Chain A
Amino acid sequence: MKAFIQGAGCVSAQDSNVFPGEVRNYEGDRLPVADPDYKQWIDIKQIRRMGRAIKMGVAASHMSLENAGIKNPDAIIMGTAYGCLADTGVFLQKLVSQQEDMLTPTAFIQSTHNTVAGQIALLLGCHAYNNTFVHGAFSLENALQDSLLLLAEDPSRNILAGATDEITDFSHTVLRRFGLYKNAHTSGLLRSQSQGTMAGEGAAFFVLSAGKGEHSIAQLTAVEMLYRPASEEETTEHIRIFLQRNGLQPADVSLLLTGRNGDTANDRYYETVEQSLFNDTPVAAFKHFCGEYPTAAAFGVWLAAGSLQRGSIPEEAMVKGLPPVQPERILIWNHHHAKHHSLILLEKC
């Protein structure tokens, strides 16, 4: 089953209309989110209870619905690895410091992973299918696959699908201890030749439907996941078969959009596979725009869909080759710590 992306919305370290435009660059070990004015979508009385994961998710979902010209979707499906981390932290901290007594309800209510999709539904008054996938770095991909399955079941649906993840000071400190992050500048991150990357956060949502409409920006052709491949050779073979299954050869891909993040070991994996499979294909990357997080591929999908719609790739995204003119097909290949590999194929429509 294929789907048409009718609208897309993104909250990230970049402005939501960054491409084409000025890319924001950052220095440090994490990229902050360029927060939009959330009050345009959320009543101020409700905002006070919402953590950033919820606000980002609500904002991105509203942007995508507005772009698609749809008020109420027929399903809300999202992915998140960390969920509402800030509220979980507040609740657990109070649980300990107040010895399990006098716990306030708000942090508890807002701490569950499916709060984001729940809040989106509440604000829209949407009583339709509502599902949240919490599958680590496969959360977005599972949400997209569920969307494709739902569309196969009932092609008349409009599905709101996406992902959100947030960083908190506490989670960042803990993850930094594992040596995952380093201080860098985003403009030079992909050439930094050392261990570690820059952390990121954000949300991206898409309205998917089976038929092409007046707002369609791109086509979501296939989504596939590969968990813990034994070697680069296995991954190469998997990508080759994935393309064959979709009637394609590597040369048919106009652009390979990779999840390079400036970590030497991480990026070497992409290099190895590209050398045997995508020697003549232009290669781009997206994590120097949004940072590294388990659902960062959602930003990649947003970037790829916009590029297919505009017919151009931002030059700042390019890693190898020249930006293709009027690209027909973009393959997003992202891996998270070389364990979770995902392939998302988008085509011009």
Chain B
Amino acid sequence: MEKLMQDLKVQIIQQLNLQEVKPEDIGNDQPLFKEGLGLDSIDALELIVLLQQFHNIRIAKPEDGPNVFYSIRTMAEYITAEKAKQA
């Protein structure tokens, strides 16, 4: 899980072109949207593409989005659970 969370931070910085943000600046439980990293609705679309592109996972239910993309940890937990289903 730690490795996956670290990878996610690097992927998010790259995909969203977060200039001047380093992986260590993003907390595992820090909210990604609004008061946390300050991401917005366009970033949400980028994160959906990131999940497909890097982890081959499609979000089946759009209403799950706010919970899945709450933090790095919730994203990693979702990816782990979906990978287990695929196995």
Contact = CB atoms under 8 A, between A and B. Distances in A.
Interface stretch (B2-10, B14-22, B60-68, B71-79): B14-22
Contact of B15 (A45, A103, A104, A109): A104
A48 B19 contact: yes
A105 B45 contact: yes
A11 to B, nearest CB: 19
B59 to A, nearest CB: 13
Nearest to B50: A104
A55 B59 CA distance: 34
Contacts, number: 26
Contacts of B19: 44, 47-48
A104 B20 contact: no
Interface string B29-43: 000000000100010
Interface in A42-59: 44-45, 47-49
Contacts of A275: none
Interface in A79-112: 98, 102-106, 109
A48 B16 contact: yes
B49 interface: yes
Interface residues of B, number: 13
Interface in A145-160: none
B49 A104 contact: yes
Nearest to B43: A106
A105 B15 CA distance: 11
Contacts of A98: 53
Contacts of A44: 19-20
A109 B52 contact: no
Given A102-B52, A103-B49, A45 B42 contact: no
A104 B18 contact: no
11 contacts: A44-B19, A47-B19, A48-B16, A98-B53, A102-B53, A103-B49, A104-B49, A105-B42, A105-B45, A106-B46, A109-B42
Interface of B: 15-20, 38, 42, 45-46, 49, 52-53
Given A48-B18, A104-B46, 6 more contacts: A44-B19, A48-B16, A49-B17, A102-B52, A103-B49, A104-B49
